Amino acid sequence: MTGPYDTLHRQSLSEPETFWAEAAQAVEWSRGWDSVLSADEHGRWEWFAGAEANTCWNALDRHVRDGRGDQLALIYDSPLTSSLRKLTYREMLDQVARFAGALREQGVEKGDRVLIYMPVIPEAIVAMLACARIGAVHSVVFGGFAAREIATRIIDASPKLIVAASCGIEPGRIIPYMPVVEAAIEIAGGVPKTCIVVQREACKAELKPGRDHDWNDVMATAKPADCVPVAATDPLYILYTSGTTGQPKGIVRPSGGHLVAMAWSMRHIFDTHAGETFWAASDIGWVVGHSYIVYGPLIAGCTTILYEGKPVGTPDAGAFWRVIEDHKVTTMFTAPTAIRAIRREDSEAKHLAQRDISSLRALFLAGERCDPATLAWCEDTLKRPIVDNWWQTETGWPIAANPLGIESFPVKYGSATKPIPGWHVQALDPTGLPVEPGQTGAIVCKLPLPPGAASTLWNAPERYHKAYLDAFPGYYSTGDAGFIDEDGYLHIMTRTDDVINVAGHRLSTGAIEEVIAGHPDIAECAVVGMPDSLKGQAPLGFLVLKAGINRPPAEIVAEIVKRVRDTMGAVVAFKAAIVVSRLPKTRSGKILRGTIVKILTGEPYGMPATIEDPAVLGEIERDLKANGLLSVD
């Protein structure tokens, strides 16, 4: 017997035009489409060609028109500044329309690019929506990126204007932003010529006359701007993601398909409805922030939360539970690394016991693979559905999840559940043939990708083809490896590059990590392949212990080695692990396994632009030397 999920998924693949035409009814269009699915002059697929809409209208104006003007649109909660701001839909619309007018007064028009370099403050969302309102293309750069990283984006996107803040705030430190912007503009050849700056009380910037304008000043004199119709195939934004060559890739998000995907996913994946409070504990600099702090919740008529804080330390491991209680959060989205940090500091959930989180219906986890131990702890602790979902910057919304708004499936630890309607996911061997259920292969998605997914890179269509389409013709290559089991559940195990070869056996580091993470003393871990003269590669584990564990590291390592051998067999040849205080991560929580490998093998490496704390690399090198795994110079 098939259920609603099977019916929808089957229709989405066999009748994509009918399926997405129906989904598109949730969007208000100023002009209808000529075709639901077509190809452009270069053969790239397009959704809703000929149609016109405005994302800001769908996120703000129509809700005010329909009587939601007094509903909260945004709650800004900042334990780092001890501040709380709440904006209704009417107030958001007023702010956005006026800043759109301010952009216009600075010469920004439809199709122009605007670079946004800001922390998670309300003005950042206002700036994004203001760009969308007048048809400008925003490119948000994560606050805290270095000048050279910003400069590469300026050179590639050629923005007419930069919107920045005077500083970002981290626990125990303030990061001035304008000196970084100044250096980036110099590297980029003196462009752009205009900046609008939000002056924060913690650290005010010295503005450069003739170039820099105070946010409050331009807002005081700006005339509100109306929404501009935008072609469905035009870009809403460019979001840069890491490239293997060192040159970041500018992911282009088509505006019409994005609108449809956001509206559909909020209802069918997250089971979230207008009037409810949705919280994505992320940063606007990442795709999660774009999709599910800003656009998804507002398009759906929800209240969205902008949180400037950490899962632990602001002030403690109960921060997330406090936000849920204070703001009656219905649905939450965060990264597994955040939950691991909470679990490490408060494994018995004592902080949670002091809070009322009865409003919370579900917790969604994404950004990296969720290990079974973390998911099980969440289930046992929160007593609510925990949904591991998998997607990428390129796709813009989940490829696989437990679709609570369609049908809830039994959880399988280590699996992101099933492919979402619209996504035709397969596991292929190196020759491009499907592997048997349960066998590891390259995870790919059959073309065309559904609405909202990127079909090109900014100024680099050939690079898009080479990076994503050449490896398996007819498919989008995700770069992830995993398997689809006999029940159709998708298991993402590792990046393709993280499959190691041990004596001819291809092994997933993610599978080994899954076993290690199940040990009661382990907070989180990483496994990489180290050179082995006999086997080619051998797995090496890096172990972070839970707070309060005082047992001898050698004793814990011995238990881990036995655990892996007993669970996975001798073929894995897992014999070495070291205890470290922390793992190198990006600011979005991904573990920098590739950088660990370079340290281990003595290869030169550049400082990753997205690294959370560069000092951890020196700590890893020190620990490797102390354990005799790295030669001492």
pLDDT tens digits, residue range 96-120?
Answer: 999 999 999 999 999 999 999 999 9
d(CA 593, CA 552): 25
d(CA 496, CA 261): 27
* Per-residue confidence (pLDDT) for residue 244, from 0 to 100: 47
Note whether 586 and 608 are within 8 A (CB).
yes
Where are any strands of DSSP class E within 390-503?
400-401, 418-419, 425-428, 441-446, 475-484, 490-495, 499-502
pLDDT band with cut points at 50, 70 and 90 for residue 499: low
Q: Is the peptide bond before 79 cis (omega within 30 degrees of 0)?
A: no
Please report how many Cα atoms fall inside a 13 Å half-sphere around the Cα of residue 39, on the Cβ side.
Answer: 6
* Per-residue confidence (pLDDT) for residue 561, from 0 to 100: 93
Q: Is the peptide bond before 448 cis (omega within 30 degrees of 0)?
A: yes
Residue 133 has pLDDT above 50, yes or no: yes
Tens digit of each residue's pLDDT (9 = 90 or more) over 414-433 = 899 999 999 999 999 989 99
- CA-CA-CA-CA dihedral for 75, 79, 82, 83, to nearest 10: -10
- CA-CA-CA-CA dihedral for 350, 356, 359, 361, to nearest 10: 20
The label of the residue with tokens 């992830």 reads: 480
Q: Which residues contact 101 (CB under 8 A, 6 or more apart)?
A: 222, 223, 224, 225
In one-letter notation, the amino acid at residue 393 is T
> Residues of the chain with pLDDT > 70: what percent?
97
Helix (H, G, I), strand (E, B) or coil at 190: coil
Please report how many Cα atoms fall inside a 13 Å half-sphere around the Cα of residue 59, on the Cβ side.
Answer: 34
Note whether 484 and 427 are within 8 A (CB).
yes
Q: What are phi and psi of 95, to 5 degrees?
A: -65, -45
pTM of the model: 0.86
Helix (H, G, I), strand (E, B) or coil at 397: coil
The token pair that represents 633 in the structure block: 């110079």
Q: Are strands 536-545 and 522-532 parallel, antiparallel or unpaired?
A: antiparallel
What mean pLDDT comes out for the span 265-283?
Answer: 97
Q: Are strands 441-446 and 425-428 parallel, antiparallel or unpaired?
A: antiparallel
For CATH 3.40.50.980, list the domain ranges present in the chain.
90-228
Residue 251 has pLDDT above 80, yes or no: yes
pLDDT band with cut points at 50, 70 and 90 for residue 501: low
Give the mean pLDDT of the chain. Answer: 93
What mean pLDDT comes out for the span 129-139?
Answer: 98
pLDDT band with cut points at 50, 70 and 90 for residue 380: very high
Tens digit of each residue's pLDDT (9 = 90 or more) over 559-584 = 999 998 888 777 788 989 999 999 99
Residue 503 has pLDDT above 70, yes or no: no
Tens digit of each residue's pLDDT (9 = 90 or more) over 1-15 = 589 999 999 999 999
What mean pLDDT comes out for the span 61-76?
Answer: 98
CA-nearest of 48, 47, 52 to 447 is 47
Residue with the bigger pLDDT between 17 and 142: it is 17
Residue 245 has pLDDT above 50, yes or no: no
Helices 553-568 and 509-517 cross at an angle (nearest 10°) of 120
What mean pLDDT comes out for the span 386-390?
Answer: 97
Please report how many Cα atoms fall inside a 13 Å half-sphere around the Cα of residue 379, on the Cβ side.
Answer: 15
Residue 613 C-alpha from the chain's centroid: 19
The label of the residue with tokens 């390592």 reads: 557
pLDDT band with cut points at 50, 70 and 90 for residue 505: low
Q: Are strands 386-388 and 362-365 parallel, antiparallel or unpaired?
A: parallel
The label of the residue with tokens 């956001």 reads: 262
Q: Which residues contact 181 (CB under 8 A, 6 or more apart)?
A: 117, 147, 150, 162, 164, 195
Residue 113, CA distances (Å) to 80, 160, 161 in order: 31, 6, 7
pLDDT band with cut points at 50, 70 and 90 for residue 493: confident
Q: Which residues contact 265 (CB under 8 A, 6 or more apart)?
A: 291, 296, 397, 398, 420
d(CA 326, CA 332): 14
Residue 312, CA distances (Å) to 358, 546, 614 in order: 21, 14, 20
Where are any strands of DSSP class E within 408-498?
418-419, 425-428, 441-446, 475-484, 490-495
pLDDT band with cut points at 50, 70 and 90 for residue 498: low
Lowest mean pLDDT among 283-297, 378-392, 487-501: 487-501
d(CA 113, CA 188): 15
* Per-residue confidence (pLDDT) for residue 368, from 0 to 100: 78
Q: Which CATH number fits domain 507-626: 3.30.300.30, 3.40.50.150, 3.20.20.100, 3.40.50.720?
A: 3.30.300.30
* Per-residue confidence (pLDDT) for residue 230, from 0 to 100: 98
pLDDT band with cut points at 50, 70 and 90 for residue 549: very high
For CATH 3.30.300.30, list the domain ranges present in the chain.
507-626
Q: Which residues contact 434 (CB under 8 A, 6 or more apart)?
A: 426, 427, 428, 441
Instruction: Note the residue count of the chain.
Output: 633
CA-nearest of 110, 575, 38, 84 to 309 is 84
The label of the residue with tokens 């639901």 reads: 36
Q: Are strands 425-428 and 400-401 parallel, antiparallel or unpaired?
A: unpaired
Note whether 288 and 60 are within 8 A (CB).
no
The token pair that represents 403 in the structure block: 């679709």
* Per-residue confidence (pLDDT) for residue 2, from 0 to 100: 82
Residue 573, CA distances (Å) to 477, 535, 568 in order: 30, 9, 9
For 90-228, give the CATH class: alpha beta
Note whether 207 and 213 are within 8 A (CB).
yes
Note whether 225 and 104 are within 8 A (CB).
yes
Q: Are strands 212-214 and 505-508 parallel, antiparallel or unpaired?
A: unpaired
* Per-residue confidence (pLDDT) for residue 90, from 0 to 100: 98
The token pair that represents 221 in the structure block: 């004199």
Tens digit of each residue's pLDDT (9 = 90 or more) over 320-373 = 999 999 999 999 999 988 998 899 899 999 999 999 999 999 999 998 778 888
Note whether 254 and 232 are within 8 A (CB).
yes
Note whether 147 and 57 are within 8 A (CB).
no
CA-nearest of 455, 435, 473, 409 to 9 is 409
| H-state helical runs in 269-387 | 287-289, 296-299, 319-327, 336-345, 372-382
d(CA 579, CA 558): 12
**124 class by beta-carbon count within 10 Å (0-12 exposed, 13-18 middle, 19+ buried):** buried
